[in-house]
Amino acid sequence: MLKTTCTHSEILRGLAECGHGDRILIADGNYPLDSNTGTDTRLIYLNLTHGIPLVTDVLKVLEETIAIEKAEVMSPDNSGEPAIFAEFGKILEDGIEFKKLGRFEFYDECRKSDIKLAIATGEQRTYANILLTVGVVDTLFCKNIKMKE
């Protein structure tokens, strides 16, 4: 399912273990990763310090590494939309489904068994969590890969 390489060995391993339909959580620094993920989810703690790395930094790398078919975000209960949602939209390819879930609905989704990888970041903006569904690598991409004979 990989399109390119990623330098973080545990993330790369987690991505390689994903198949079509599996999901990946990129969480902000406020997300309760231990209590709101499944028992079989691979947890990666990248939260080096406040603001490093950002959720958008991780999203950019994953977008270049795997096929993404769908994205879900944690949306606040009030009417305002976090500015980071626009940033997510700029990073993700056009046509990717973008679904908004309430806080507790998002937590419920993140506890499901198809969440294979959860990455904690140092992101300080609130509601900066995104749940990605792994897609299928385009067959044109696969044709460009030269196999050893």
Task: Give the chain's domains with CATH numbers.
Answer: 9-137 (3.40.1650.10)
Q: Are the beta carbons of 136 and 22 closer than 8 angstroms?
A: no
3 state DSSP class of 42: strand
The beta strand positions in 75-114, using DSSP E, are 97-101
What are the structure tokens assigned to 32, written together?
A: 């309760």
What share of residues in the chain are helix, strand, coil (percent, to 5)?
25, 25, 50
How distant, in Å, are the alpha carbons of 64, 102, 117, 137, 138 from that of 144?
Answer: 16, 41, 28, 12, 10
Query: pLDDT digit string (tens) for 106-124?
Result: 999 999 999 999 999 999 9
pLDDT for 33 equals 95
pLDDT > 90: percent of the chain: 75
Under the banding of pLDDT at 50, 70 and 90, the label for residue 130 is very high
pLDDT for 7 equals 79
Query: pLDDT digit string (tens) for 18-30?
Result: 999 999 999 999 9
Task: Output the pTM of the full model.
Answer: 0.89
Query: pLDDT digit string (tens) for 30-41?
Result: 999 999 999 999
